[in-house]
A and B are shown apart, each in its own frame.
Chain A
C-alpha cells in the first residue's frame, strides 16, 4: 500500500464522516417537532389539504387551528411562519393558539404556513438550527427555519420565476418564497399550491380579515409597520395609532404596491373579499452587517455593528444597546393582531371578532414570552400537537 493510496483512503473516510455528521444534523432538524399545547379555545384542528386535496400527503400540508366563538361574528385568518427565518412569526402564532379564547366570530391560525421552509435552514449563512425560549417549567425548543421552501420539496428552481397570474418576472428563488406565490394555482409548483389552498380557505370560510406575521431587517424601511392595500388602510391606521398611544411602541403604515405581485397583502386583497394586513417587526438577526448569527443575536437583537449604524442614522427603527429583544417583537405583533381585530369589530359591528386570553405588548415585555407557553407534560394528551 503506497502513501498516495493511504492518503486517498484517509481523505475519503474524512469526507464521508463530514457528510454523515452534517447530514445527520440536518436530518434531525428536519424531523424535530416542537410541542404546541392548544388552548381550550381551539375547537377544531383542520389541515390545509381540507381546502385543496392536492396537498394531501405532501410535506407542505399543514395544520389549521380553528378557534370558534359561542356567538356568531366575523372571521379572521392569522398566518404564521410564511418566512420561518423570522421566528417572531411562529412564536406569536404559538402564543395565540396556546392562550386564546374566542367569544365572537372565528379565528383560524396557521402556525407553520411554509412547513417545508420551517424544516430547512441556511447552513451557508451560519444560521443556528434551534433556539430556546425560557419558560417557568424549562426551555421550549424551536427549529430555526429558512425564508424559502426546501429544494427537497420543490426543485429545480426556474431561471426566472414567472408569477401567476400577473406574469411578472421575479427572482428565481422566489418560486420557493411563499410570500411571492400568492394567490397560487392548483397545478402550479408546490408553494403556489399552498397559497392556493389558503385562498380556498379564505373564499370558502368567507374570511373577513387575514393577518400575515413577519419580521424584517432594521436597515429595511418596511419594518415596524403594517403593509396594507387601500381597502385595509383605515383599520390599519386606527390600530397603529392605538397601539402607539396605549402600548407605547412605534408603528407606521406602508402601502401595498399595486404592481408588485405575489405578496399576501396584494393578492388576498385582489383575489378575495378579505382585508389583508401584513405586520412587520424588526429582526436584527436578518440584517447583513452583523456579527455572528448566534442564538443570542436571534433572541436579544444586540449587535455592536447595528449599534454603530444606528448612531450614524442608518437604521429605520430606534436602536440602542438594549438591542431588540424577542419579547418586544412578539409583544408588538400580539398587540397589533388584537388591535386590528378590535378595530375591525368597531367598524363592522355586524361581524364582530372578539378574542381574550392573549397577552398584550406590555404584559409580554414584563413577563417574557415563555411565561405564556404551557407545559406539554402537564397538558392533556389530546391538546398537544407536535408542530
Chain B
C-alpha cells in the first residue's frame, strides 16, 4: 500500500460521507436518487471486493 493509495481511500471515504450526508438532508427525491447513483462507485472503490 503506497501513500497515493491511502490518499485515494481517504478521498473516496470523504466524498462518500459527503454524499451520504447530502442524501440524508435533501427533501428533493430527484436529488436523493442522484446522490445515491454517484455514491455507488465510491462505495465499490472502498469495498474493493476481489
In the complex, A13 Cα to B26 Cα: how many Å? 17
CB of A156 closer than 8 Å to a CB of B? yes
Contact of B40 among A19, A27, A59, A155 (CB under 8 A): A19
Known: A4-B29, A19-B44, A27-B49. A156 touches B36 (CB 8 A): no
CB contacts under 8 Å to A, within B4-50, are: 4-5, 8, 23, 27-29, 32-33, 36-37, 39-40, 43-44, 48-50
In the complex, 25 of the A-B residue pairs with CB atoms within 8 angstroms, ordered by the A residue number, are A4-B27, A4-B28, A4-B29, A7-B29, A8-B23, A8-B29, A8-B32, A11-B29, A11-B33, A12-B23, A12-B36, A15-B36, A15-B37, A15-B40, A18-B40, A19-B44, A23-B44, A23-B49, A30-B50, A152-B48, A152-B50, A155-B5, A156-B4, A156-B5, A156-B8
Closest to A30 in B: B50
Interface size class of B (residues with CB under 8 A): 10 to 19
Q: Is the CB of B48 within 8 A of A11?
A: no
Q: With a CB–CB cut-off of 8 A, which chain A residues contact B36?
A: 11-12, 15
For residue A7, give the distance in angstroms from its CB to the closest CB of chain B: 5
User: Shortest distance in angstroms between A9's beta carbon and chain B's nearest beta carbon?
Assistant: 10
Q: Name the one of A11, A23, A30, A59 contacting B32, with C-beta atoms under 8 angstroms.
A: A11
Name the A residues within 8 Å of B37 (CB-CB): 15
Q: Are A7 and B50 in contact (CB under 8 A)?
A: no
Q: How would you classify the secondary structure of chain A's contact residues: helix, strand, loop or mixed? A: helix
Q: Which residues of B contact A8 (CB under 8 A)?
A: 23, 29, 32
Interface string of A14-36 (1 = CB under 8 A from B): 01001100010001001000000
Chain B CB count within 10 A is highest, among A4, A7, A8, for: A8
